[in-house]
Structure 1
């Protein structure tokens, strides 16, 4: 087996040569709306969402945070929405047939504002001109003529009735309220009620009989008077209607002609026309109305009069007069009211009151005819809003409901506005986990969100992607108004993108994180009074960010330095190996070395995973331990039983352990304990092992190496220290300059391996050995010692079993 050679410093990280950037600085990079991060799946899904005219093809933008998911969606939609037609205005108006169900009117964009202004002007003119017309001399003369004519006819009928009464010996008395009383005449004199009671009973009887007969005859005359009065009232009403209708012809008829093609609006204007005629009393002059109250009641009457005229108002529910193209609405607080609209209330005399003017639009209505962008994590905090959104999308209509009522309190009287037809495309932004959860838990979701815009975390580091990345950096600089970035700064940002991707051959698309670094670097350049940002500013900004977050890392390193945490970086020991792990504190990731210990003895207990026994090991770590047993069985249990008792653990580990990246180091400690061969503790080992002994790639290899390097450098580099890593992880190395410099000077080494045999040769200095045709391992090899020890353990276990 070929011996693993340490890596040269040039392979520990990649550096983009600044001279390869074809621009002197960022100001020379052309800004283009088409220069977006390479997200082919997401962009195709968004494009399809705009192309397919089907209500179920809404889009879910799926990806991890810091990928600029919302920015990408908004940036994609803006130029396309600008070329789309503006949606019309939506208006709520009074329903004269059923006031509890306001009607919805649709008008071209800006039409609602004009209509509200025109109606208000017409109503103001009616309220001014109708009372004035009713007080003009011409109208008053006509009304007085009607009054005199009616009074003359009434007086004539009364005189006729008096004559009839007089001919029968009675006097007719008519009071101011039109009441009539008959008084008998005896000897030409009116008999009072007291005198009437003293008359002879027979005479009283005769007078009463005659009076009843007269009253019966006068009933016909009274009915004639009532009819005359009714005709007078009707004629007076007709006269007033003519005045009101004349005013309507001047002020409302032009509106009816203008909007005759809008059938719904034309019907509403006719309803206003009819209602004004039916409600003329509201337009009468003050002295013509009923006597008004004084004091506080006068104010209430005035308010009630104004409330009456509210019915002619227009609620500009959605006003698109200032909208250019299709609207794009991003709602970051999607409560039921903010998203689905609401019915507000006002307090009136201690009671809650509402009408069509208090119906408020939500983001769903403002986005109608365009696009609504929502974050799923915001929606998850408002289940009622999510349910309402799904119902609206499924039915194609949005019903504005009263969100204030609860079962615990008596519901106040409310209204039911006409539903709003929807033509909106919804863009949801969330993680892959949220998408999978919705797909599994809500069968409505896949029917309404058929398009998944899947965003990728990284792209290959090729010329095309670098060009796209530079354009993205230029847009960030322009939008954030940062000073220009020179070639060295742009190259440093490209290298930082590979560092975030943890891969020399890829670029991270976490542009929001890159933007933060650029802002800090620009601040440092301004502080130094430089007009351009340089590569040193990027390095300083990254160092500052690390310093602000690495307090716990420094404290851990201090514990290693004081040997409170026992990890040897020199010497050798049997059954001991240095493993590496990655720790996260907040957003700071760093590596730490751990001592892995193994003991082996006689018995049938097998290999005991102390982490699992203590319930500190996760399922992946437990599986890795089982793979170690499988490796031993496959290699050493072909001609004998595998009988032993051993234990493996992480020394001074008090937290949970998960993952298989330490399985290589654990197998190394086990083989060292079995063979009695010491492991060089100046080397640390990270890598997962397969059942065949292959060393496989692991995550976080860069911080792991840097963590062990820091512990070694604090104690003094000896020139023999280093880290053993899987060869597959070489492309993932993005090590800091300090490590690269130490490797270049031969003071630290990175050893890539492909198998556990290569690793053991580095760690022990012995050849691992392979079975010969005779079935034995070569003399002096590590596996010969392990095989012999296992055979000895099997014999001892058998002997003790017989005893």
Structure 2
């Protein structure tokens, strides 16, 4: 990057006359005034807020009324109430929050009163579709009616099986049935007699032959010497001389001709048999239809208003059509196989009801929390089994409901990450939310053969999805219909104002947890120590964390320490010991890095001075804990037009925000030193011994000081570390992790020996974040360690170098013997070197 502006290249042009510039208005702004004297360090009272335990009037939290309500989340509560109350489609709720902010507890407490006001619920069931068994029919009932209907249908079926069997045994039914049988037997006998008369003159008669399977059939027999003889026996009679060969041939020819007539007669007999069987069936149906119709009329009347009329009509017609299944001969053999491979039990199952959702005991809208939202758990499935032939089989009784249907009329709570991890789950959920219809299918059936296609279900479910801000933003950007599906966004805060009421609520929360989990209650000093830790977690002395999951863990650990010390209640010492043990459990990497610094492996100077070198402050995060450590930042400058070379960026070790911080520095240099001539500068900056990644702009202030020191040839005190972000106007901007950074540098300085020169420069805005531990407060009180807070980069120059920074003059120069004058002079020299070098080319 070239430091100079494109409109004022450094090469080939002399410096612009000073009188050509007019003073900008910001030179008279007091906030832009340059520091001329060194700032005073912050007072120890500014380095930590303390909770006065005297504000608590209880002796132990056991005396308090436990906190039952929700605190600090009013904005989120209002959003959830709105989304839960609006029943229009699309008003589902996406909850954005960090883990541990009590979002699930809050959601349940908000929904329960609303759920109690909703009274309209439905039962859902599937039944057999007699017209197309592959498309089961859906029945929707008012709450509790599905179970009543299923029981009534089963009672009706049991009644019909008994009553129809009794009907078939009644004397009147048997008499009329026998009459039908007698009539058809008479017709059959007449047909046979007529055929016998027809073939008698031909020398034949009609007889029956038995088959190996026990069946019989009619055949023609030749009458020889008054005896019926099978056509197969004619050859034997010829060989014995009992029948002439000529007559045998004639009989065979006659036999072949008469067989055709026999086939015609047999067909007539078969048609007569069919008519007979149909007459018997019609007789049975007619007799049973009166009983069946009466039973189903009663069902229709009993369940008038429910969507069962068509199903009952189909069921009634099918029972009448298959009335023989209710005969005594089938009643004793339910496993008997019917045509098509079904058993009697399979057929009777068609008259049952598969209840998917039974709300008979439901008093308020369901609130379902699904912690394992698989496809089957959410949307249901269709089970499958293999029949005797190895074929896959399913029917309406194998359809199972999921949470979406069970939550109909209520609320379903799921975690966004869990849902999004399975694309099939997310795509199906989108269809349900967009169209309000649920299709139950097994997950494997969606991509292959569909055995059943149940009727679609209209569902009315409010989905509440828990996620974070990044997930919400990503879905809003990527999913076209996301904002149509989730019209309500509820943001849970992770901190709230540190008001006296909130501190009292903290004490009541301690009482609640101790009561619920049977852990030791706290004394006022223990609550005060817990609150101080909570304020420290918020990184703002005027705020306090409401991540009650983490707060609960500290209470549990403090209670454990108190039990170990045989105390009845936990106090400040127990809380501090619990926090010390927590840090010890996770400080391994911190200790290792500290050891490397103290042994000179990681080179950090905390004494002496050096040009172009400064101690920056960084925060390491292991996933378990965050801790601060100093990092050596160096700068090298010279003539040229390469601008500022960011070694971390060139080595692909710096993130985008870090890169932005570095790119801000050239703008500041142009603002302060590029008004009289273009800058001819080549500089490089580096985080020495950084072999991992680095992100954030909190080192840009330290990097600026290193570059200015290199240009001015003025050394920087190594006993002082710097953190802060810088803008192009020189204002110092706040950073994160300020407490960890100060603690990290203090620990190194303490190990190497405090001499009253050590300290840290921070942005003035971060004063509100300071919650430093007692050892640092004691060192600051004794004057062996200092914390300075600055508003402008020039305020830190006297602290770091002992020189006045210097105020810019109307001609854009700086007073002699000031730090910025030395920088300006060096840049003038570099510009001359660059021009002279250009002329020699």
**Is the structural similarity TM-score above 0.5?**
yes
Query: Equivalent residue for 1:375?
Result: 415
Per-residue deviation, 1:52 = 2.0
SS of the residue 1:485 aligns to: coil
In the alignment, the residues of structure 2 paired with residue 90 and residue 323 of structure 1 have an alpha-carbon distance, to the nearest angstrom, of 14
Q: Alpha carbons of 1:304 and 1:658: their partners in 2 closer, same or farther (altered >3 Å)?
A: same
In the alignment, the residues of structure 1 paired with residue 278 and residue 338 of structure 2 have an alpha-carbon distance, to the nearest angstrom, of 32
Per-residue deviation, 1:760 = 0.7
Match of 1:37 among 64, 71, 81: 71
The reply to whether residue 534 of structure 1 matches residue 534 of structure 2 is no
SS of the residue 1:762 aligns to: helix
Aligned ranges 1:557-568 → 2 under 5 Å: 557-568=594-605
In the alignment, the residues of structure 1 paired with residue 200 and residue 747 of structure 2 have an alpha-carbon distance, to the nearest angstrom, of 135
Q: Which deviates further from its counterpart, 714-723 or 398-407?
A: 398-407
Per-residue deviation, 1:555 = 0.6
Contact 1:695/1:754 (CA < 8 Å) preserved in 2?
yes
Aligned ranges 1:452-467 → 2 under 5 Å: 452-466=489-503
The reply to whether residue 618 of structure 1 matches residue 661 of structure 2 is no
Q: Alpha carbons of 1:747 and 1:165: their partners in 2 closer, same or farther (altered >3 Å)?
A: same
In the alignment, the residues of structure 2 paired with residue 762 and residue 78 of structure 1 have an alpha-carbon distance, to the nearest angstrom, of 60
Q: Deviations over 1:482-503 (max 9, x none)?
A: 4433433333332222211111
Contact 1:334/1:382 (CA < 8 Å) preserved in 2?
no
Query: Equivalent residue for 1:347?
Result: 386
The reply to whether residue 255 of structure 1 matches residue 290 of structure 2 is no
The reply to whether residue 54 of structure 1 matches residue 91 of structure 2 is no
Aligned ranges 1:539-558 → 2 under 5 Å: 539-558=576-595
Contact 1:86/1:324 (CA < 8 Å) preserved in 2?
no
Q: Alpha carbons of 1:794 and 1:165: their partners in 2 closer, same or farther (altered >3 Å)?
A: closer
Contact 2:335/2:344 (CA < 8 Å) preserved in 1?
no
Per-residue deviation, 1:94 = 0.5
Query: Equivalent residue for 2:40?
Result: 5
Q: Alpha carbons of 1:181 and 1:471: their partners in 2 closer, same or farther (altered >3 Å)?
A: same
Match of 2:349 among 310, 316, 321: 310
Match of 2:535 among 477, 480, 498: 498
Q: Alpha carbons of 1:184 and 1:622: their partners in 2 closer, same or farther (altered >3 Å)?
A: closer
SS of the residue 1:312 aligns to: coil
SS of the residue 2:444 aligns to: coil
Q: Alpha carbons of 1:237 and 1:747: their partners in 2 closer, same or farther (altered >3 Å)?
A: same
RMSD of equivalent CA atoms:
4.0
The reply to whether residue 786 of structure 1 matches residue 823 of structure 2 is yes
Contact 1:578/1:665 (CA < 8 Å) preserved in 2?
yes
The reply to whether residue 700 of structure 1 matches residue 720 of structure 2 is no
In the alignment, the residues of structure 2 paired with residue 301 and residue 601 of structure 1 have an alpha-carbon distance, to the nearest angstrom, of 95
Q: Deviations over 1:657-693 (max 9, x none)?
A: 3322112222222222333322222111111222222
Per-residue deviation, 1:603 = 4.7
Contact 1:567/1:595 (CA < 8 Å) preserved in 2?
yes
For this pair of structures, how many residues does the alignment match? 785
Match of 1:733 among 770, 793, 796: 770
Q: Alpha carbons of 1:759 and 1:178: their partners in 2 closer, same or farther (altered >3 Å)?
A: closer
SS of the residue 1:489 aligns to: helix
The reply to whether residue 756 of structure 1 matches residue 793 of structure 2 is yes
Contact 2:330/2:344 (CA < 8 Å) preserved in 1?
no
In the alignment, the residues of structure 1 paired with residue 271 and residue 659 of structure 2 have an alpha-carbon distance, to the nearest angstrom, of 105
In the alignment, the residues of structure 2 paired with residue 257 and residue 273 of structure 1 have an alpha-carbon distance, to the nearest angstrom, of 14
Q: Which deviates further from its counterpart, 76-85 or 99-108?
A: 76-85
Query: Equivalent residue for 1:105?
Result: 139
Q: Deviations over 1:738-786 (max 9, x none)?
A: 2222222322211111112211111122221214457653343222333
Q: Deviations over 1:608-630 (max 9, x none)?
A: 33333333333433333333333
Match of 1:319 among 352, 358, 371: 358
Match of 1:18 among 53, 70, 91: 53
SS of the residue 2:617 aligns to: strand
Q: Deviations over 1:468-526 (max 9, x none)?
A: 55555555555545443343333333222221111101122322222222232233334
Contact 1:169/1:184 (CA < 8 Å) preserved in 2?
no
Contact 2:711/2:826 (CA < 8 Å) preserved in 1?
yes
Contact 2:196/2:206 (CA < 8 Å) preserved in 1?
no
Contact 1:486/1:533 (CA < 8 Å) preserved in 2?
yes
The reply to whether residue 114 of structure 1 matches residue 153 of structure 2 is no
Match of 2:103 among 48, 69, 74: 69
Q: Alpha carbons of 1:676 and 1:121: their partners in 2 closer, same or farther (altered >3 Å)?
A: same
Higher relative contact order (CA 8 A, sep 6+): 2
SS of the residue 1:750 aligns to: strand
SS of the residue 1:719 aligns to: coil
Contact 1:597/1:650 (CA < 8 Å) preserved in 2?
yes
Q: Which deviates further from its counterpart, 489-498 or 774-783?
A: 774-783
Give the alignment's TM-score, normalised by structure 2: 0.83
Contact 1:338/1:363 (CA < 8 Å) preserved in 2?
yes
Query: Equivalent residue for 1:265?
Result: 308
Contact 1:162/1:171 (CA < 8 Å) preserved in 2?
no
Q: Alpha carbons of 1:602 and 1:172: their partners in 2 closer, same or farther (altered >3 Å)?
A: closer
SS of the residue 2:308 aligns to: helix
Aligned ranges 1:209-288 → 2 under 5 Å: 233=277, 236-237=280-281, 240-241=284-285, 244-245=288-289, 248=292, 254-262=298-306, 264-286=307-329
Match of 2:686 among 626, 637, 649: 649
Q: Which deviates further from its counterpart, 780-789 or 46-55?
A: 780-789
Q: Alpha carbons of 1:170 and 1:787: their partners in 2 closer, same or farther (altered >3 Å)?
A: closer
Q: Alpha carbons of 1:620 and 1:222: their partners in 2 closer, same or farther (altered >3 Å)?
A: closer
Match of 1:424 among 461, 472, 490: 461
Q: Deviations over 1:181-200 (max 9, x none)?
A: 697899x9989976999699
Contact 2:382/2:442 (CA < 8 Å) preserved in 1?
yes
In the alignment, the residues of structure 2 paired with residue 608 and residue 560 of structure 1 have an alpha-carbon distance, to the nearest angstrom, of 27
In the alignment, the residues of structure 1 paired with residue 228 and residue 678 of structure 2 have an alpha-carbon distance, to the nearest angstrom, of 146
Give unpaired runs (5+ residues) of structure 1: none
The reply to whether residue 581 of structure 1 matches residue 615 of structure 2 is no
In the alignment, the residues of structure 2 paired with residue 645 and residue 221 of structure 1 have an alpha-carbon distance, to the nearest angstrom, of 115
Per-residue deviation, 1:536 = 3.0
Per-residue deviation, 1:345 = 0.4
